[in-house]
Structure 1
Amino acid sequence: MRPRCSALLIICSFIYTCHKPVHPHRIQPLAQTHVVIDRSPDAKRIFLGTPGIAVGPDGCLLATVDLFGPGVEKVPWRKGILPGSGGAVVGKIFISRDAGRTWTPAATYPFFHARPFVAGGRLYVLGQCGDLMIVASDDGGKTWTAPAKLTQGQTWHASSNNVWYSRGNVYLVMERHEERNLQRCWRIADVAPVLMRAGETSDLTRPESWTFASSLVFEDVVTPDQLEYFGVPFYPCAADTAVWLTPDRPMNPIGWLEANVVQFTDPTHLWTDPSGRTFHLFLRSHTGRTGYAAMAKVVENADGSMTTLLETTPSGKKILYTPLPGGQMKFYVLWDEPTRLFWMVGTQATDSMTRPECLPADRYNLPDNERRRLVLHFSKNMIDWCFAGLVAIGENERAARHYGSMVVAGDDLLIVSRSGDEQAQSSHNGNLFTFHRVKHFRSLVY
């Protein structure tokens, strides 16, 4: 090749590299721009989790977030002390009266794993510090009741998942730990998702206002050696302890957690109950792989009690696992009546087939545990999901965008995220609480 031609080729290649055309239909984030609601005062020792959001009776926005980690013991607010570990936790409430542009701290509470919601014209925040605890506000979040216990001597778990309203009642799922012989591991095999029901106009700070469904503990449903043909569990797994795949990456016993509750009303849906007395639970599924959620159902009986069991397919087979994008991580589901669709915000994985020992040093836990892509899907039946868009993406492994919770406000979808930046201790232990607005979200339907 002549020198002049060679130089011209190099110049053209450089210009193309610097000005590579972007495909007009390439996915762009729907809500990359965000508002930071709260930031950890000590990113390496105080972590932010369990983001929640609700629209108050007066139209204000209410957002909640947890503080956890070794530095929480030094914060100035009243703290909850977790039974067993002795760790300190605090929850914080923020109010926005300008559509989310600015946020004002309103209150704190001594528990975590909390979600905000509205019932009977009151604002509530319900979570746990071992036992279930709740606070309420009658004035749009300006003042709050003292924390009230709903249980005694129990151990609960949850995240800021959805709340369902039906026939004048409010329904939500918290998870109770049942005492089993689990040792030195993440305890989600001994978890029972428990559907809770109360009348919307009842005083939900009183234990007698609530009815609890029966328990269905994961390890009583299935054990790892019963599963075959679809790769669950994906990695070597024990029933009662962690199996260490690398010195810092354990495979914990399989289990379920962080449940959403829905009802099917489409008369053509195979699982619709014409009486309106059946609820379906969709849970995060820990299997070591991506793309599966766990599910169960709850049936209200004639005497008002509620029974938790597995759903069955038309063949008569029981169904525990169902395909769901992002089912390996916490996801949030809401029903939108104008579109008659379920909308889900969750986490997208991109490299779950990487060998654990080959993961970047700053990747948290196993390959299926990627936490920096927050994505939106919709479905008419909770089984077949359509990708609606990428909500936001973090710049690196520590810059998590995950554990989203959301609420509809007019034509927009408001999402809060458990987030981080380069200062975060890890993608799990983030230092930011962020607010994102997906404008005109219904126009994403195709």
Structure 2
Amino acid sequence: MLLATVAAAEDVPGVVINHIPASSQIYIGSPGIAVLPNGDYIAKHDQFGPRSTEHGHAVTEVFGSSDRGASWSRRAVVQDMYWASVFAHEGALYLMGTSKNHGDVVIRRSTDGGRTWTQARDKLSGVLIDGGEYHCAPVPVVLHKGRLWRAMEDAMGPGGWGRHFNAFMMSAPADADLLNAENWVVSNRIGRDPAWLDNTFGGWLEGNAVVTPDGRIVNILRVDTKPEGGKAAIIQMSEDGKTATFDPQTGFIDFPGGAKKFTIRFDPLSKLYWTLSNPILPRHKDPNPGRVRNALALMCSKDLRNWSIRCILLYHPDVDKHGFQYVDWLFEGDDIIAASRTAYGRGAEAAHNQHDANYLTFHRFENFRKLTMTDSAPGARPGEAAWQSPDANG
């Protein structure tokens, strides 16, 4: 069964790591999670919203837990860091993302458990790509054949959000100085063709570096398409990381929740790929699928192309002000541990909307390989309200 520790804050699922009231007009974004060699958990988020500094000196907050997620304390406030993945590598902790909303590509390192961080000042100290507008999300940094791989986008195409994203991949030798820009290979960039998906393709973003069953690196991306949503895209990568290619005839797949950010990881024990996504359940069908984030599903696939929902881990019947989104997660034995950008609450404690989250929450989903739909959250079990169309009762 699922483990969902009830937080002190009223009925918020999981363990509350941080809370920023919606009235502040500063919202919680880009959750990330990592585990240090000593067993400590690290979680992070950044700040966005009209009263944040996301377009100037963007802020990322870093938290630690020494009791397997039961309690958390703030370890650092990192300026000029945004949309970052957090990951442990060779005994150190890294944040890799952008310097601000559509800023430079930067990476920072901590050798004291996330309490202090290097400054990204130049091409030798963590500024990996400058002079443009870049975008990403807390997606996996994958070790494969002696290299670390991380998907990115620039935001320098025409047409505004979604349409302006150009997807690319970055990689570096795993034993290199990751703060030195010369050690990183950057692929070509692939932009949007509006004719794809029968002229419904709005753009792609927030890609995952994933190793395929036959040992190749691909980039699997969130896809903006309306009104249905539920698609992802697979970009092929060359072995040296320099060349990205996409075939629109074969590159789009059905992927429940594909209109929102997701993280894919491979489990050697089950030999399955797993993800946590935000599918749209029948009761909540909406012409804007990217904003329906009130259900968090555990999904799996043998081949990265055919995905099935195994369990609805979290659910709330209200779409407008509730969301479990941008979830970053890791395997821990038989469990999944996760950090969620959570919009929740009622009355004065309510979120501004489902997108503008007011909580960073920690979750442990026990025995995830054995979960079935009957283990789903209340309201989302087979036959319950979430699976009924809104007009089922006339």
Q: Which category of TM-score, normalised to the shorter sequence, fits these structures?
A: 0.7 to 0.9
Task: Specify whether residues 189 and 125 from structure 1 end up closer, same or farther in structure 2 by C-alpha distance, changes over 3 A only.
Answer: same
Match runs of 1:289-438 below 5 Å: 289-300=228-239, 304=240, 306-311=242-247, 318-351=249-282, 366-367=288-289, 369-394=291-316, 396=318, 397-421=320-344, 422=346, 423-438=350-365
In the alignment, is the contact (CA less than 8 A) between 1:351 and 1:368 conserved in 2? no
Aligned to 1:99: 68
Residue 408 of structure 1: how far off its partner (Å): 1.1
Residue 57 of structure 1: how far off its partner (Å): 2.0
Aligned to 1:112: 82
Match runs of 1:59-138 below 5 Å: 59-73=39-53, 82=55, 89-109=58-78, 110-128=80-98, 129=100, 130-138=103-111
Residue 347 of structure 1: how far off its partner (Å): 0.1
- Whole-Å separation in 2 of the counterparts to 1:195 and 1:145: 24
Residue 367 of structure 1: how far off its partner (Å): 4.8
- Whole-Å separation in 1 of the counterparts to 2:174 and 2:197: 41
Match runs of 1:204-215 below 5 Å: 204-215=178-189
Residue 380 of structure 1: how far off its partner (Å): 1.0
Task: Specify whether residues 201 and 46 from structure 1 end up closer, same or farther in structure 2 by C-alpha distance, changes over 3 A only.
Answer: same
Residue 30 of structure 1: how far off its partner (Å): 5.9
Aligned to 2:380: none
Q: Report % sequence identity.
A: 30
Q: Which has the larger radius of gyration?
A: 1
1:442 equivalent in alignment to 2:369: yes
- Counterpart of 1:402 in 2: which secondary structure? strand
In the alignment, is the contact (CA less than 8 A) between 2:311 and 2:372 conserved in 1? no
- Whole-Å separation in 2 of the counterparts to 1:42 and 1:285: 28
- Whole-Å separation in 2 of the counterparts to 1:193 and 1:30: 37
Gaps of 5+ in 2: 6-12, 121-125, 374-394
In the alignment, is the contact (CA less than 8 A) between 1:173 and 1:194 conserved in 2? yes
Aligned to 1:286: 224
- Whole-Å separation in 2 of the counterparts to 1:165 and 1:95: 24
The count of corresponding residues between Structure 1 and Structure 2 is 351
Residue 368 of structure 1: how far off its partner (Å): 5.0
User: Which of 110, 120, 135 is the equivalent residue of 1:157?
Assistant: 135
Residue 172 of structure 1: how far off its partner (Å): 0.9
In the alignment, is the contact (CA less than 8 A) between 1:283 and 1:293 conserved in 2? yes
Instruction: Give the letter aligned to residue 272 of structure 2.
Output: L
User: Which of 187, 194, 218 is the equivalent residue of 1:223?
Assistant: 194
- Whole-Å separation in 1 of the counterparts to 2:197 and 2:322: 35
Task: Specify whether residues 90 and 227 from structure 1 end up closer, same or farther in structure 2 by C-alpha distance, changes over 3 A only.
Answer: same
In the alignment, is the contact (CA less than 8 A) between 2:2 and 2:366 conserved in 1? no
- Whole-Å separation in 2 of the counterparts to 1:355 and 1:347: 13
- Whole-Å separation in 1 of the counterparts to 2:296 and 2:184: 33
In the alignment, is the contact (CA less than 8 A) between 2:170 and 2:185 conserved in 1? yes
- Counterpart of 2:116 in 1: which secondary structure? coil
Gaps of 5+ in 1: 1-27, 74-80, 234-252, 266-271, 312-316, 357-365
Instruction: Give the letter aligned to residue 208 of structure 1.
Output: E
Residue 227 of structure 1: how far off its partner (Å): 4.4
Task: Specify whether residues 443 and 158 from structure 1 end up closer, same or farther in structure 2 by C-alpha distance, changes over 3 A only.
Answer: same
Residue 420 of structure 1: how far off its partner (Å): 1.4
CA RMSD across the alignment:
2.3
- Counterpart of 1:150 in 2: which secondary structure? strand
Residue 44 of structure 1: how far off its partner (Å): 4.9
- Whole-Å separation in 1 of the counterparts to 2:317 and 2:258: 23
Residue 255 of structure 1: how far off its partner (Å): 0.3
Residue 126 of structure 1: how far off its partner (Å): 0.8
Residue 389 of structure 1: how far off its partner (Å): 1.0
- Whole-Å separation in 1 of the counterparts to 2:286 and 2:112: 53
- Whole-Å separation in 2 of the counterparts to 1:52 and 1:386: 24
1:144 equivalent in alignment to 2:117: yes
Task: Specify whether residues 223 and 123 from structure 1 end up closer, same or farther in structure 2 by C-alpha distance, changes over 3 A only.
Answer: same
Residue 163 of structure 1: how far off its partner (Å): 1.8
- Whole-Å separation in 2 of the counterparts to 1:426 and 1:324: 25
Instruction: Give the letter aligned to residue 291 of structure 1.
Output: G
TM-score by length of 2: 0.83
- Whole-Å separation in 2 of the counterparts to 1:262 and 1:341: 12
- Whole-Å separation in 2 of the counterparts to 1:328 and 1:355: 12
Instruction: Give the letter aligned to residue 55 of structure 1.
Output: V
